[in-house]
Structure 1
Amino acid sequence: MSEDSDREDGAGIPGGGEQPSAPAPEAPRRRISPKSPRQAIQPERAPPMPARSKRARHPLVVVLNFFLMAFVVVVLGVGAALYFGKSRFVAPGPLAETTNVLVARGADLPSIAQLLKRQNVIDSELLFSAAVRAYKQEGRLKAGEYEFKPGVSMREVMDTLVSGRSILHSFTVAEGLTSLQVVDRLRANDILVGDIDEVPPEGSLLPETYKFTRGTTRQELLNRMKRDHEKAAKEIWARRSPDLPIDNFRDFITLASIVEKETGRADERPRVAAVFINRLKKNMRLQSDPTIIYGLFGGKGKPADRPILKSDLTRETPYNTYTVAGLPPTPIANPGREAMEAVANPSRTDELYFVADGTGGHVFASSLDEHNRNVARWRKIEEARQAAIEAAGGKAAPVDQIAVDGVGDQPGVPAAKPD
């Protein structure tokens, strides 16, 4: 057989001369029925949802899914609340003008928040209270009177209440006031509260400007004046001049009170103190007008329209240093630091007299003759002043001669008004 016959009988057919199987018949195609135009635009029915697995339908899975969703919602809600709450807490508040707020002692957080809201310092009691608790500051809010500026934030309000930076008020005790006069001024102050147990001894209060918060009691402030006086006076007394002819603390305060009343000029106090100390050394009477006034009127003080009369100079009182030798039995006022310093360390001088110079100061003299000339000069100045006032149509008021005057061997009568 030829090669061509072999190729025709089995070439390319695996397994020899087997013939390939016939192709499978095609499945019959679904006949598409023609639709009307109306049917063509109708939506076809969606295919059915796949059946849920038995695990997804389990009650425990359903409950867990619910709580998971709820947790997510809560977390998102809390986060949003914290964000907006904090933003509002530090944002400028509604206050339009500076306002003082008094937080009473013992006030709790809800009452403080209500007070701040009522005075328009904050705009949300709930947010303020919640934030204070969140910052753990509830127990640290302090009572007091606070000043809040316009637009103050709730955060700044909280910080201020925690700091206790209350408004400080001032009470000034002027040098030379008596203890009764200080007590009267304390009682007239409407920021202080409470009453005073008793008028303290003369010369036991320190003239000073005292700072205090609203609600401070009058007795508390008075006690501060006593403590400050004792501290200052003892410090000054401890560094006194070694040749001071005063050997006890009580007399030191008494003489300082006289110096305080004699002159209001700080530069003169050491010289005035020296005059009195020199007179004590020479056993001369002090002859100080302020002691006469205290003996007549006590702690109330002399009425402004009441001059010193000549008859007052001989009135018998324990405080009349024209008739009584040495120092009076008690101080006649509350001396300041400068008056005490002046007595503890007086000027080095031999002066024994002084008299007003007509300008608010004094002229000093070591001899009686010089002093009498100074007195005559002062009387001319006073007469001219009185004449000028009367010429202007006014009524001249006599001016007290708060000074030591002298005539002859003893200090003499000051420029007192005749009876």
Structure 2
Amino acid sequence: MSLLKKCLAFGVVTAVLLALLAATGGYFWATRPLALSAATLDVTISPRSTVRGVAAQLNRGGVPVDPRAFVLMTRLLGLQSRLKSGNYEFGTGVTPYQVLQKLALGDVDESVVTIIEGWTFKRMRAELDANPALKHDTAGMSDAELLAAIGASDAPAANAEGLFFPDTYLFDKGVSDLNVYRRAYRLMQQRLTAAWAARAPGLPYHTPYEALTVASLIEKETGKAGDRPLVSAVFANRLRIGMPLQTDPAVIYGLGESYDGHLRKRDLQEDTPYNTYTRRGLPPTPIALPGAASLQAALNPASTSALYFVSRGDGSSIFSDTLGDHNRAVDKYIRGQQ
């Protein structure tokens, strides 16, 4: 359906909307101009946002819609699943109804794609491949060919994993997906270079790429911000004394498509380049796309002598200096023994 036809369709339902809003006491709210924080505002709506999430993003961007009224108006029109991500421009005089209309029509200045921390490069490629606003010039390319196309063919290990910074990227409709890959690659290089320059002294890493690999392990081991520097310290402490890292996410990455969601004893014994139980040192490449917090943690670990950690089951971990303390933590939090 063309934009004109979509606009006409919205016009048809306007009378219904106004009647419904009048019945709920929201008519004046829906048709009254909003007090924007500036004459013209650019607001980015992230992919897969809920209606409440959209309302929150509008408010953070300076478009003060009442969240409850906005959700109600959206539901009354049956538009919950039609609000589109992207970068929107709003000007003085815009009303809540016009805001909703703009979002449902996808009347964007720019399109958007969001890459999430902890995704693998394979998952990133799938996300960009599925974005209808991009021109898919990388279709059919191998990872190595993609790296060459963006000028990154000299990447360590000629492996794309971990080399792209997870973030939200705006782009004009119809732009090549190579544009997004190139920007994400350059941003990771900038963030990694800056973090490496500000690294703590005495780390057991010889290159920024090794630090990137550690950051990817941290990213997959914990989502709790306060635990990242502690996990980093455990890895650094183990590397210093030649102790295997024994990190399950690396083992899982090495299993590839054969991993079925359950990590078994035989998996820990199956030797792959990523099995940090059977091999000492770092895996050969990162295992995911680390975010800024994990990069920072990798290069600025906490000051602790801990060599072990185990999940409490609530997203946090308990850290131990000795194997005896660690085993007791495992009994409590994994085996359920007090």
Scaled to the shorter chain, the TM-score interval is: 0.5 to 0.7
The structure 1 residue matched to 2:197, chosen from 238, 241, 244, is 238
In the aligned structure 2, how far is the partner of 1:370 from the partner of 1:239? 33
User: What is the alpha-carbon distance in structure 2 between the residues aligned to residue 372 and residue 146 of structure 1?
Assistant: 54
1:189 corresponds in structure 2 to 131
Corresponding position of 2:208: 249
SS of the residue corresponding to residue 199 of structure 2 reads coil
The aligned residue for residue 178 of structure 1 is 120
> What pairs up with 1:36-55 in 2 under 5 angstroms?
none
Take 1:98 and 1:341, find their aligned partners in 2: how far apart are those partners?
Answer: 48
The alpha-carbon deviation at position 359 of structure 1 amounts to 1.2
What letter matches 1:235 in structure 2? A
Q: Where do 1:43-82 residues align within 5 Å?
A: none
Q: Which has the larger radius of gyration?
A: 1
Q: Residue 268 of structure 1: SS of its match in structure 2?
A: helix
Q: Distance in 1 between matches of 2:220 and 2:328?
A: 24
* 1:287 to 2:246 alignment: yes
Cα separation, 1, equivalents of 2:174 and 2:199:
39
Summarize the alignment of residues 240-319 of structure 1 with structure 2, pairs less than 5 Å apart: 240-297=199-256, 302-303=259-260, 306-319=261-274
- Assess, with a 3 A threshold, how the Cα gap between structure 1 residues 302 and 211 changes in structure 2: closer, same or farther: farther
CA contact (8 A) 1:351 1:366 kept: yes
Give the direction of change, closer, same or farther, for the CA distance of 1:97–1:148 in structure 2 (3 Å limit). Answer: farther
Aligned to 1:331: 286
With structure 1 as the length reference, what TM-score do the two structures score? 0.51
Residue pair 1:187, 1:195 contacting (<8 A) in 2 also:
no
| Shift of residue 250, structure 1, vs aligned partner | 1.6
Letter in 2 for 1:268: D
Tell me, yes or no, if the aligned pair for 2:215 and 2:290 is still in contact at 8 Å: yes
Q: Distance in 2 between matches of 1:360 and 1:301?
A: 26
Asked if structure 2 preserves the Cα contact closer than 8 Å seen for 1:175 and 1:260, the reply is yes
Of 294, 301, 312 in structure 2, the residue corresponding to residue 346 of structure 1 is 301
Q: 1:379 to 1:147 in 2, by over 3 A?
A: closer
Offset at 1:343? 0.8
* SS of structure 1 residue aligned to 2:180: helix
Larger RCO: Structure 1 or Structure 2 (Cα < 8 Å, ≥ 6 residues apart)? 2
User: What is the deviation of 1:186?
Assistant: 0.4
What is the SS of the residue equivalent to 1:180? helix
Q: Percent identity?
A: 41
**Misfit runs of 4+, over 3 Å:** 95-99, 145-149, 300-303
Distance 1:301 1:238 in 2: 39
Aligned residues: 228
Aligned equivalents of 2:9, 2:197: Cα separation in 1: 52
How far, CA to CA, are the matches of 2:215 and 2:182 in structure 1?
21
CA drift at 1:253: 0.9
Deviation at 1:168, TM superposition (A): 2.4
Please list the CA deviations of residues 394-414 of structure 1 after superposition, one character each: whole Å capped at 9, or x if unmatched: xxxxxxxxxxxxxxxxxxxxx
> CA offsets per residue over residues 47-69 of structure 1, 9 Å max, x none?
xxxxxxxxxxxxxxxxxxxxxxx
Secondary structure of the residue aligned to 2:170 is: strand
Deviation at 1:97, TM superposition (A): 8.5
Match of residue 217, structure 1, among 165, 176, 179: 176
Indicate how the Cα distance of structure 1 residues 188 and 337 shifts in structure 2: closer, same or farther if over 3 A, else same: same
- Post-superposition Cα deviations, 1:227-251, rounded to whole Å, max 9, x if no partner, equal 1111111111111011111111221
Greater helix fraction, Structure 1 or Structure 2: 2
Shift of 1:379: 2.4
User: Aligned AA for 1:266?
Assistant: A
Q: Which runs of 5+ in 2 are unaligned?
A: 1-6, 12-86, 95-106, 148-159
Which whole-Å deviations, capped at 9, do the CAs of 1:318-377 have from their partners, x for residues lacking one?
110000010111111111111110011100000110001021111111111111110000
Residue 191 of structure 1 deviates from its aligned partner by: 1.4
Distance 1:286 1:215 in 2: 44
* Matching residue's letter, 2:132: D
- Stretches of structure 1 that go unaligned for 5 or more consecutive residues are 1-94, 100-144, 153-164, 385-419
- 1:146, distance to aligned residue in structure 2 (A): 8.5
Question: Does 2:309 match 1:379?
Answer: no
2:334 aligns to what SS in structure 1?
helix
Query: 3-state DSSP class of the match of 2:226?
Result: coil
Q: Is the 8 A contact 1:175 1:336 kept in 2?
A: yes
Map residues 142-153 of structure 1 onto 2, 5 A cutoff.
Answer: none
- Change over 3 Å in CA distance of 1:356–1:301 after alignment to 2: farther
Q: Deviations over 1:247-306 (max 9, x none)?
A: 112211111111111111111110000000001111100001011111110xx6944xx2
Measure, in 2, the Cα distance between the counterparts of 1:173 and 1:327: 25
Contact 1:98–1:147 under 8 Å retained in 2: no
8 A contact 2:212–2:286 mirrored in 1: yes
Q: Is the 8 A contact 2:88 2:110 kept in 1?
A: no
Cα 1:365–1:147 change in 2 (3 A) is closer
Distance 2:314 2:211 in 1: 29
Partner of 2:163: 204
